[in-house]
Amino acid sequence: MKAYINGKELAFEPNETILDVARKNGVYIPTLCELHDIDHAPGTCRVCLVEVQQGDSTEPQYVTACDTPMADGLKVQTRTPQVMEMRRLQMEMTMADHHQDCASCPRVGNCELLPVANSVGLKQVRFHYTQGWEDLEPDHGKQPIVYDRSRCIRCQRCVAVCRKVQNVDALEMTGWGSTAGVRLKGGSVDASPCITCGQCVMVCPTGALAERDQTDEVLNFLADPEITTVFQMAPAVRVGFGEEFGMPTGTNVEGQIIAALRKIGADIILDTNFAADVVIMEEGTELLGHLKEKKRPTFTSCCPAWINFAEKHYPEILPMLSSTRSPQAVLGSLAKTYLAEKRNIDPKKMRVVSIMPCTAKKEEAARPVLGKNGVPDVDVVLTVREFARLLRREGIDLKEIQPSAYDDPHMSEYTGAGAIFGTTGGVMEAAARTLYYVINGKELEHVEISQLRGFDNVRTANINLGGEFGEIKVALCHGLKGTRDIVEAVKAGKVDFDFIEVMACPGGCVDGGGTLRSKKAYIPLAMKRRETLFNVDRQTKARQSHNNTQVQKLYADYLEAPYSHKSHDLLHTEYCSRPFGVPADMEQAWHELHEQGGDK
Amino acid sequence: MANLIYGVWDGKVHDYRQTQAGEQEALVAGLEGFAPDNATKAFIADRGFLIFDRDTNLVEAFSQYMAQAAKESCGRCTPCRVGTQRMRDLLAAYANGTAREACLNDLAVLAEQTTSSSLCGLGQSCAKSLGDALKHFRDEFKAGAGTAEQHSFVYTTAPCVEACPSKIDVPKYIDGVKGGKFDYALGVVMDKYSMAASCGRVCVRLCEAACRRTQAEGSAVGIRMLKRYAADQALLNNRLHLKKSLVQHKQRVAVIGAGPAGITCAYKLLQAGIQVDVYDMHKASGGMASVGIPSYRLPKDVLKAETEDLIREQGGNFFYEQKLGRDFTVDDLFAKGYDAVFLGYGAHKGSLLGVKNEDPSLDGYDSGVDFLLKVHKHVEYGEPFEVKGDVVVVGGGNVAMDCVRSAKRMGAKSVHLIYRRTIDDMPADHEEIVASEHEGIIFHCLTNPSSLVVENGKVVGVELLEMRQTEKDAKGRRNVEAVPGSEHVLKCDLVIAAIGQVVEQDTLKAEEGIERDRWHCITVNPDTLETSRKGVFAGGDCVLGPLTLVNALDHGERAAYAIRDYLLDGSAHITPQRRMQNLLAKNKLFSGECLQTQPVRKERARVPELDAIERIKTFDEVDGVISKEVAYEEATRCLRCYRLYSVVTEKSLKPGQKTSTIAG
């Protein structure tokens, strides 16, 4: 079949939209709500207007390209004066009830709205409709993700990613007319299936969804002379931060981050990679025990959104989860005990700040079991986006700063095994390297285990651990849609895995819900960031967690052995079922129904 | 005022401002007498607008129309969300003199943009007539015309809504499913009646027949499956409980019949705080939905949950195995102190075939409803009932399908269906016919019984005649006639006459003063469902003859409103909504319109069902529930074909309302 765009004859397939055909042929049509990477075209912004004429019919029609099927012989014009005028009016209306106080927006200067407004040539907004949001109370809650309806353009990408990509389905459409927006089902994280993975934030085109900003809290710690600030950065942070300051995708900026932290006054700078190595010692030992008992499978426990998912959606599998705390929690716990002792710091005066590619880590840090005497081990978690904000507030341009290196002698060394924790398959590979050594008394010859390095959302492999265990069956999941399938299969007894690694965010931590946002794309930088992590691994002196000299010292001086009584107290945790949901409230439904429109 | 003065309808301009209009056929019939003693000044719709009174304030009329559009806008798409508000405000500003004439240009541009670029039918239709008016009658937009006393009643609806007897706001509950708000979706249905999960299983789906998705790509939105989905989420998970109304009036109503009409009437009365006692001749609620619809289509626990359980939760009482006409009379009820009575006792008597040797007392003879009742009592209460050998069912409706499929499940060796016309003429649901075929029912179409073969007081066969179609008559319809000499006998052990039901004659006595027609159906005011006796209302099959579940639900709801008004305000009255519904139906305002946009093709979802070989062994439910993913996908197929209709009248249409601007 053939049609014409701007006079050029083009072939197309049945059921392709005008937008599909235009994109395929490199013809630009402005879009706003649509997000091709997650197959989302809700047709709500109505900005992708084009003129169409069927055959020689006289009157041209104006239709939206995203939801109008291309038709045989259709003549499409993408830039007639009328089309441009209509797109301009559409954006004017979009801006009319948008909260245009850009200075206070978490996405200032970086949203998708302004470039589209620009591209349609918007010159003025003659009217404003603020009644939909002017009375909104600011969200002062503790939830790691904040929704501001005044910035919402009703594109529903968040709803789509939560449903289609994660299969969590925590969001619902709410309100009508100018109050239309989204909210968590049941109104809160606890009442909804939400696991705070933050994928909704990653696809939001504006600042409507954002992490709860805690940079102020960190600045207050830094300003307090009584307080010793301890910073940690997650494995994935260093490879997904340079872009913010104009550096190429995947640049390793570990040295620059260390230097920047020093500059803003951080007292102690540690690396979560160190804790990842500790996790391997603990989790590896735990897994070996399970293998001996033929207790299978064991699920990893590093990912807090995955833990939320298991606790809320599959409480029956909680006994299968490794009890080892996540690297962030391990570091926090050790900082306020081991490190405090070694460096003679009063842990009460110590504040641990994490820089994480993750929104769920904020919730994890607040878990009562991950603290002592009501004081959390990790005091504040900053997402990568907040960390960028923190540096800007301190006037730091990462690109201009000279890289530095760690100087803490206790908890900053890391191996290649800890480094690859940030990408899917990394935890499994790190564990395999150490397990092999523990079982066989010698190092694995090829440490890069290629069968674990695919990128499909669900992968399975066999690893030969040698010795009494031989081959074990493992599965690796990133993204919760595939994870749900694997968990269902485990529950049904259809699969027989020994060890299952789960990362809730598609792509793993390098594309976590707390990383830098992309525009009009969903996790487009995954592979480059991942490659850099693999390179970090290749460049480390030691590539196995058990060869981390600071880890060895930790066990020798303090913990005695992996899975010891002391480790158990400090480095392991427990989980609990968290049922969610609310009763069906007809009164509420009727109230809402009669609020909208007239009586029927 | 009777004549059209100016307006645009379907793009055609009518202008009789200078010249007297001659005799003309009304473009929309029934506007003149829309409400008694209240002149109709104007009518605004999607297809145009009509002005009947020279003094109509056009700006104000459109302003009120647009205010309603803005209030109805779901807010998802930009031009409808913001455009309707902007148009409303510009019109209001122009009316009160704060906007200059130039704003009419802005209005025209906004009307055009909203019409051509909105996502759904609401935005696409709500500014069309405004655009027409600005194009052809701009001089009638008088700046600063003020707000002269005139009243708009604006009614929002859609083809599926108007097709539904209950007038359920279908697009709105589909919005609920689409938006992940299943309880809200259920609430839209339960605003009308409680039997959402039942209706979601067995409704005849007049809504789907009216769905414009069919015109666009051949298959309607799976409206019923979405209703069932939403209802099951709450009901099957025991998440649904209702509270007693906070207001409690002293008035008491007796509801006769715990079928769909009676239950709905009780449900709505209880919500209005009126006390209700429900009487039924059976020992469970549901009426025909219980004793007439087999549990493989409508499980009894589902039915009980949303009939008896919900009524009891709201404070209603049940008196079972109490039959009107046998155990008590209407007079007895008033003597007991009830302030009003609702009659919803149904149509439970099977029609005779009218063939030779037919006698309902014969062994091996049953009417469809009697057979289904025996099956029900056997399945539900274990009462002895056996079906053996060969069964012949006569009829082509849903009851006939229920009989053949139940007979199969009861263990009949073979089951034959006799129908005098062709399979395409059968009034039964297409899905029911297909399911029966899958279950091995032997269809004999163009066949009619002429006599029963009786031996020793027992039916042993049916004599059948072959039928043939006649030439088309003047209306293009084919009739059937018997083929002479084609008599043949089909041996059988049981014959079931499933050609229809009638209302029982002796339920009411003549002296009770309740008028009935010659089919013994109770005569009612079609709008208020009042009978000829004060304080007695009636609805459902005992008024309509055997009709559908959803017709009964509608009657129950409307009767409840009428009874409430009668008890609390002294008289039942016709709502403006009802007047508008009658007007739309009379003029078929939804037919013959064309789609504005061509949607992207999306296949209709399929409801999973039990395999035929397995399902004929039990009375377990055949249809499964769709998955959440499928429900979301199916919901996106809805085009939301909302339309707004406004009647501008001299006086308010709502009693006791001084200045009606917008309905609501």
Whichever domain contains B11, its CATH number is: 1.20.1440.230
Do B32 and B149 fall within a single domain? yes
Structural domain count, chain B: 4
Binning chain A into helix, strand and coil, the percentages to the nearest 5 are 40, 15, 45
Q: B30 and B45 in contact (C-beta within 8 Å)?
A: no
Instruction: Find the helix or strand (DSSP H, E) in which B569 lies.
Output: helix B549-569
For B122-167, what is each residue's pLDDT tens digit? 999 999 999 999 999 999 998 877 656 789 999 999 999 999 999 9
pLDDT of residue B654: 73
Q: B49 and A152 in contact (C-beta within 8 Å)?
A: no
Classified as helix, coil or strand, B615 is helix
B82: in domain:
yes
- The confidence band for B26, taking pLDDT boundaries of 50, 70 and 90, is confident
pLDDT of residue B657: 41
For B438-489, what is each residue's pLDDT tens digit? 999 999 999 999 999 999 999 999 999 999 999 888 888 889 999 999 999 9
For B158-211, what is each residue's pLDDT tens digit? 999 999 999 999 999 999 999 999 999 999 999 999 999 999 999 999 999 999
pLDDT of residue B146: 64
- Please report, in angstroms and rounded to a whole number, the separation of the first and last CA atoms in chain A: 46
Which burial class, exposed, middle or buried, applies to A527 when counting CB atoms under 10 A from its CB (0-12, 13-18, 19+)?
middle
* β-pair partners for B448: B465
- The confidence band for B217, taking pLDDT boundaries of 50, 70 and 90, is confident
Which of B481, B501, B521 is the last residue before a domain boundary? Answer: B501
User: Which of B:590-629 have CB within 8 Å of A?
Assistant: 597-601, 628-629
DSSP secondary-structure letter at A17?
A: B
B664: in domain:
no
pLDDT of residue B659: 33
Q: Do B155 and A598 touch (CB under 8 A)?
A: yes
Give the whole-angstrom CA distance, residue B651 versus residue B210: 34
Query: Architecture of domain A2-96 in CATH?
Result: Roll (3.10)
Report chain B residues whose CB lies below 8 A from the CB of A599.
Answer: 577, 663-664
DSSP states along B6-52: EEEETTEEEE-SSS---S---SSTTSTTSBTTB-EEEEE-SSEEEE-
Query: Could you count the other beta carbons within 10 Å of the beta carbon of residue A561?
Result: 12
Do B489 and B370 fall within a single domain? yes
Do B151 and B15 fall within a single domain? yes
Taken as a whole, chain A contains a residue count of 600
Q: Do B79 and A46 touch (CB under 8 A)?
A: yes
Query: Mean pLDDT throughout B555-568?
Result: 97
Give the whole-angstrom CA distance, residue A279 versus residue A570: 12
Partner residue opposite A90 with nearest CB, options B78, B154, B190? B78
Residue from B200, B259, B260 nearest B228 by CA? B200
**Domain limits, chain A:** 2-96, 215-571
DSSP secondary-structure letter at A45?
A: S
* β-pair partners for A53: A75
pLDDT of residue B662: 32
Report chain B residues whose CB lies below 8 A from the CB of A47.
Answer: 78
- CA B572, distance to chain mean position in Å, is 21
Do B146 and B166 fall within a single domain? no
DSSP states along B358-399: --TTSBTEEEHHHHHHHHHHHHHH-------SEEEEE--SHH
Residue from B315, B301, B303 nearest B266 by CA? B315
- E strand spans, B308-457: 317-320, 340-343, 349-350, 365-367, 390-394, 414-419, 442-445, 447-455
Closest Cα in chain A, distance from residue B596 (Å): 10
Q: Do A173 and B82 touch (CB under 8 A)?
A: no
Classified as helix, coil or strand, A276 is helix
Query: Mean pLDDT throughout B624-631?
Result: 95
Structure tokens belonging to residue B581: 């519904």
Report chain A residues whose CB lies below 8 A from the CB of B242.
Answer: 586
Give the whole-angstrom CA distance, residue B503 versus residue B547: 11
Give the neighbor-by-neighbor strand order of the sheet with B6-9: B12-15, B6-9, B48-51, B40-44, B643-649, B151-157
Give the whole-angstrom CA distance, residue A149 versus residue A152: 5
Do B356 and B488 fall within a single domain? yes
Best mutation target among B77, B561, B654 (most A Cβ atoms within 10 Å) is B77
Closest Cα in chain B, distance from residue A123 (Å): 16
DSSP secondary-structure letter at B506?
A: G
pLDDT of residue A600: 46
Instruction: Supply the mean pLDDT for chain B.
Output: 93
Do B104 and B47 fall within a single domain? yes
In sequence order, which ranges of B570-615 are alpha helices (DSSP H)? 576-587, 612-615
pLDDT of residue B21: 66
Q: Which domain holds residue B404?
A: 350-501
A388 residue type, one letter:
A
Residue B661, pLDDT above cutoff 80:
no
DSSP secondary-structure letter at A114?
A: H
Give the whole-angstrom CA distance, residue B294 versus residue B289: 8
Q: Do A169 and B628 touch (CB under 8 A)?
A: yes
User: Which of B:73-132 have CB within 8 Å of A?
Assistant: 73-79, 81-83, 85-86, 89, 109-110, 113, 116-119
Sign (positive or negative) of CA dihedral A387, A393, A394, A399: positive
Q: Do A44 and B169 touch (CB under 8 A)?
A: no
B247: in domain:
no
Give me the interface pTM, i.e. the ipTM: 0.94
- Residue identified by tokens 């013994």 is B520
- Is residue B63 within 8 angstroms of chain A, CB to CB? no
Query: Mean pLDDT throughout B289-312?
Result: 96
* β-pair partners for B464: B449, B488
Best mutation target among B74, B81, B154, B156 (most A Cβ atoms within 10 Å) is B81
CA dihedral A361, A366, A370, A371 (to 10 degrees): 140
Do B430 and B539 fall within a single domain? no
CATH code, domain carrying B177: 1.10.1060.10
B414: in domain:
yes
Q: Do A71 and B598 touch (CB under 8 A)?
A: yes
- The confidence band for B593, taking pLDDT boundaries of 50, 70 and 90, is low
B584: in domain:
no
pLDDT of residue B405: 98
Residue of A nearest to B176 (CA): A173
Do B443 and B538 fall within a single domain? no
Structure tokens belonging to residue B494: 């049981």
- E strand spans, B456-510: 458-472, 478-482, 488-491, 494-497, 501-502
Residue B291 phi, psi (nearest 5): -85, -20
Residues sharing a CB contact under 8 Å with residue B330, sequence separation 6 or more, in sequence order: B324, B341, B343, B508, B512, B514, B533, B536
Best mutation target among B68, B80, B600 (most A Cβ atoms within 10 Å) is B600
Report chain A residues whose CB lies below 8 A from the CB of B179.
Answer: 159, 172-174
| C-alpha R_g of chain B | 27
Is residue A297 reached through a cis peptide bond, with omega within 30 degrees of 0 on the bond before it?
Answer: yes
Q: Do B180 and A43 touch (CB under 8 A)?
A: no
Q: Do A62 and B116 touch (CB under 8 A)?
A: yes
Partner residue opposite A593 with nearest CB, options B188, B629, B663? B188
Buried/exposed code over A214-239 (b: 16+ C-beta within 10 A; e: otherwise): bbeebeebbeeeebbbbbbbbbbbbb
Closest Cα in chain A, distance from residue B121 (Å): 13
B1: in domain:
no
Do B117 and B222 fall within a single domain? no
Structure tokens belonging to residue B5: 């003065």
pLDDT of residue B2: 62
pLDDT of residue B326: 96
By DSSP bridging, strand A49-54 and strand A74-77 are: antiparallel
Give the CB-side neighbour count of residue B165, counting CA atoms within 13 A: 23
Which burial class, exposed, middle or buried, applies to A529 when counting CB atoms under 10 A from its CB (0-12, 13-18, 19+)?
buried
Low-confidence ranges of chain A (pLDDT < 50): 600
Give the whole-angstrom CA distance, residue B354 versus residue B497: 10
B106: in domain:
yes
- Is residue B236 within 8 angstroms of chain A, CB to CB? no
Give the whole-angstrom CA distance, residue B73 versus residue B67: 10
Give the whole-angstrom CA distance, residue B542 versus residue B516: 10
pLDDT of residue B655: 62
- Is residue A82 within 8 angstroms of chain B, CB to CB? no
Do B274 and B213 fall within a single domain? no
A59-68, A93-102, B23-32, B608-617: the lowest-pLDDT one? B23-32
Identical fold for domains A2-96 and A215-571, yes or no, is no
- Please report, in angstroms and rounded to a whole number, the separation of the first and last CA atoms in chain B: 27
Report chain A residues whose CB lies below 8 A from the CB of B183.
Answer: 584-586, 588-589
Residues sharing a CB contact under 8 Å with residue B270, sequence separation 6 or more, in sequence order: B244, B245, B276, B311, B314, B315, B316
Q: Decide which of 3.90.1150.10, 3.40.50.1780, 3.40.109.10, 3.40.640.10 is the CATH code for A215-571.
A: 3.40.50.1780
Instruction: Supply the mean pLDDT for chain A.
Output: 96
Give the whole-angstrom CA distance, residue A13 versus residue A70: 9
Closest Cα in chain A, distance from residue B120 (Å): 10
- Residue identified by tokens 């931590």 is A509
Q: Do A586 and B240 touch (CB under 8 A)?
A: yes
B433: in domain:
yes
Q: A432 and A463 in contact (C-beta within 8 Å)?
A: yes
Q: B49 and B8 in contact (C-beta within 8 Å)?
A: yes
Classified as helix, coil or strand, A515 is coil
3-state secondary structure A534-592: HHHHHHCCCCCHHHCHHHHHHHHHHHCCCCCHHHHHHHECCCCCCCCCCCECHHHHHHH
Do B273 and B341 fall within a single domain? yes
Do B27 and B152 fall within a single domain? yes
Give the whole-angstrom CA distance, residue B622 versus residue B618: 10
